[in-house]
Amino acid sequence: MSISIENMTKSFGGTAVLRGIDLTVESGELVALLGPSGSGKTTLLKIIAGLEWPNSGGLQVNGQDWLGLAAQARRIGFVFQHYALFPHMTVRDNIAFGLTVRPRAERPGKAVIAAKVDELLHFLQIGHLGERYPAQLSGGQRQRVALGRALAIEPTVLLLDEPFGALDAAVRRDLRAWLRRVHEETGSTTIFVTHDQEEAFELADRVVVMGEGKIEQIGNADQIHDHPASPFVARFMGATVELPVMLHAGRAEASGLDASRLPRRALPDGAATLFLRPADITPIADPSGRWEVSRCTSNGAILRLELSDGSQTIPVDLPRRAPEAKGLEQGTRVLLRPEAAAIFPGPRAAQMQAQPIEFPRKEKSL
């Protein structure tokens, strides 16, 4: 089932939550909507499910207009962040729910429903839990039941809201691989919402990065990591250090900055901003350097430095055994040598609508 969303907008009260979303999801694709809270990703998911309605825009699934269709008629499988299992029903009854509420004429017989539930319990590896109630299950088991309940109606589209948000790290990793398998075996078109980059990149075919009601970038992990399309994506992907620079002949220049590792870019001369990850900055000891180490802590493998130039303090991470780390201590003066960076024209204040220009990321020995 291919999904096509056109110019969709939605506001709650006076607050715009979606500001013109265009997105196409191919049949059988697994897509992640990635963004911080408030980016509108869950609202978009709920609109696809029919639990919210947009102010304007189009939603077509396999060419059929879904905005004219009630949620009940869409046959979607929706998995809620907190599972929303029915606490007064056993696992079996929870999974069977979608089949038992069908109009009498379409409702499968009791034996057929029981067989379907058995099949799902087995498929989801929770065969022994059928008679339990949700309160008697662990988080990971509840997640499986929630997915089983959604899969029972053989959904056209599977939608998951922060599917692993409420689980601890080890369970999360297990379930991720397992969900990927479920997706491949059922062949359904799947969209899930997450704020966890690792989760999005590991699981999805394509990742849609959302910020403040807009799609900022669509791509895979490497594309988004190395070539952020906007300052928003750069920041979201961890480039938290922003340095004001001047561009001359395509090269970034600033006092105390050694930009020799960054390739030249075809950009007009003038003010620009460099976006850097703390781990992509190498401090080079230099007695006349503009930056001074104001703090230095170690976790054994990584040195975390705070560098200050009097007006700005930035974090820098480097491997403790790297040659550059030798002799660094509080008070050492250094130059900054970025190994990879994104650069967007304009001073920092103007960075919200900047055009994308990227630098290839250089590998750094860790």
Partner 1 sequence: MSVTALSHAPGQSRAVPRLLIALAFGLTAIFVIAPLAFIFWRAFAEGWGTYVANIADPMTLHAIGLTSLVAVIVVPLNVAFGLAAAWAIARFRFPGRKLLMTMIEIPFSISPIIAGICYLLLYGRQGLLGPWLAAHDLKIMFALPGIILVTMFVTAPFVAREVLPLMQAQGSEQEEAAVTLGARGWQVFSRVTLPNIRWALLYGAVLATARAVGEFGGVSVVSGAIRGQTNTLPLQIELMFNDLNTTGAFAAASTLTVIALVVLIVKAALESRR
- Closer CB to partner 1, residue 52 or residue 202? 52
Single-letter code of the amino acid located at 277 = R
Binder among 78, 232, 275, 344 for partner 1 (CB under 8 A): 78
Q: How far is the CB of 285 from partner 1 (least distance, A)?
A: 56
Binding-site string for partner 1 from residue 338 to residue 357, where x marks contact by CB under 8 A and - marks none = --------------------
Q: Report residue 231 CA to chain centroid gap.
A: 16
Nearest to 74 by CA among 88, 64, 82, 84: 64
Binder among 86, 198, 270, 355 for partner 1 (CB under 8 A): 86
Tokens at residue 250, please?
């395509």
CA dist 271 and 140 (Å) reads 50
72 binds partner 1 (CB under 8 A): yes
277 phi and psi, to 5 degrees?
-85, 145
84 binds partner 1 (CB under 8 A): yes
Choose one: 26-34, 48-56, 234-242, 311-319; the region binding partner 1 (CB under 8 A): 48-56
133 binds partner 1 (CB under 8 A): no
Binder among 82, 122, 264, 295 for partner 1 (CB under 8 A): 82
75 binds partner 1 (CB under 8 A): yes
49 binds partner 1 (CB under 8 A): yes
Contacts of 77 (CB under 8 A, 6+ apart): 147, 150, 151, 153, 155, 157, 158, 159, 188
- Closer CB to partner 1, residue 86 or residue 253? 86
CA dist 47 and 45 (Å) reads 5
| # residues contacting partner 1 (CB under 8 A) | 25
CA dist 203 and 197 (Å) reads 10
Q: Please report, as residue ranges, which positions from 150 to 169 form the binding site for partner 1 (by CB under 8 A).
A: 150, 152-153
Place of tokens 């930035």: 314
CA dist 326 and 305 (Å) reads 13
- Closer CB to partner 1, residue 64 or residue 298? 64
Nearest to 156 by CA among 49, 44, 80: 49
Residues that bind partner 1 (CB under 8 A): 49-51, 71-72, 74-78, 80, 82, 84-88, 97-98, 101-102, 149-150, 152-153
